[in-house]
Amino acid sequence: MSLHRSKIFLACTLAAAGMLSACSKDKNTEQKTDSLTATAPATGQASPILEHNAKQRLINTLQESLKKANINVKIIDIKTTEIPNIYWVNLDGMPSVYATADGKYLIQGDVLRLGDTKLKNVSQDLQAAENKKLFAALNPKDLIVYPAQGATKHIVYVFTDANCPYCHKLHEHLPEINAKGIEVRYIAWPRGEQFFPTMEAIWCNNDRKAAFNAVVQGQQIPAVQCNSPVKAQYQLGIKIGVNGTPAIYSQDGLYLGGYLSPEELEQHLEK
């Protein structure tokens, strides 16, 4: 699978910007963050930190620290997690991160819980809930939609690049996937600047499916410019953590995987 941007690269980039180190603060900020620490939960469940404007205080503390570190990003929301003193932070236009209750540290990546027969990805449900809202806000007219044959059992969203070999492989199996009652909705996600013109030409074409098929078959299509949603869809992928194509998500926002055979895709959805 071709990768546009690995998670490791993103982590290194943010670390260089200072996101993964302690953020500087003045004396007043210390007092505010200390009070937040005093009310931090012992269980990671709902706590006083999210009551009586404390939630906004933590957002403000994090926002100020990001600004001091010259990181221009807006915090949309924070949520409690099952992890003591750790909160999930939803960022505008960037993958979500975790923050400590005192607002001193940001943590990137997945958090895995031990103790059961299988590892539990704590991040998965939090991110899926956000993804579900983002997918629901998409206009199907801005996508390339391949309806299910017969009754629709499932809908999947696929971040795709017409120049991606594994996307070609998945595309070849669309009739089989649709025959299983699965509707496929393509979201444009060019893996690099050099692929943007082709994806723009496809999305600006009056017949997107025919244009996509032509590119998959190695044909050249004329460059077309329009007010396309390609850049917005690319940013959506960055926002939810897409780092390669194809990237398949359920309608509920769960990441199912990269390339999956029709049988594997059906099994994932039935679970």
pLDDT band for 51, please (50, 70, 90 cuts): low
Q: Where are the alpha helices (DSSP H) in 103-244?
A: 122-136, 165-172, 174-179, 196-204, 208-216, 230-240
Instruction: State the virtual CA torsion across 250, 252, 256, 257 in degrees, nearest 10.
Output: 80
pLDDT exceeds 50 at position 238: yes
- Inform me whether the pLDDT recorded for 32 exceeds 70: no
**Predicted pLDDT of residue 153:** 97
Q: Where are the domains of the chain?
A: 7-124, 139-270
pTM of the entire predicted model: 0.76
CA distance 213 to 8: 33
pLDDT of residue 5: 42
- Among residues 79, 159, 94, 77, which one has the least CA distance to residue 125? 79
H/E stretch holding 7: helix 7-17
Reduced to 3 states (helix: H, G, I; strand: E, B; else coil), residue 42 is: coil
Range 139-270 classified under CATH 1.10.10.10? no
Q: Cite the active site residues.
A: 161, 164, 167, 191
Instruction: Please compute the mean of the pLDDT values over residues 67-89 and round it to a whole number.
Output: 90
CB-CB neighbours of 169 under 10 Å? 13
What pLDDT score was predicted for residue 118? 86
| 219 and 189 Cβ atoms separated by less than 8 Å | no
Interval 164-201: pLDDT, tens:
999 999 999 999 999 999 999 999 999 999 999 999 99
Q: Which one, of 167, 96, 164, lies nearest residue 134 by Cα?
A: 96
The 86-91 sheet, strands edge to edge? 75-80, 86-91, 97-100, 106-107
Burial label, 149 (beta-carbon count in 10 A; 0-12, 13-18, 19+): middle
Question: How many angstroms separate the Cα of 244 from the Cα of each of 59, 125, 133, 188?
Answer: 31, 21, 21, 12
Lowest mean per-residue pLDDT among 47-61, 133-147, 239-253: 47-61
Q: Among residues of the chain, what percentage have pLDDT more than 70? A: 81
d(CA 196, CA 231): 8
Phi then psi dihedrals of residue 144, to 5 deg: -110, 115
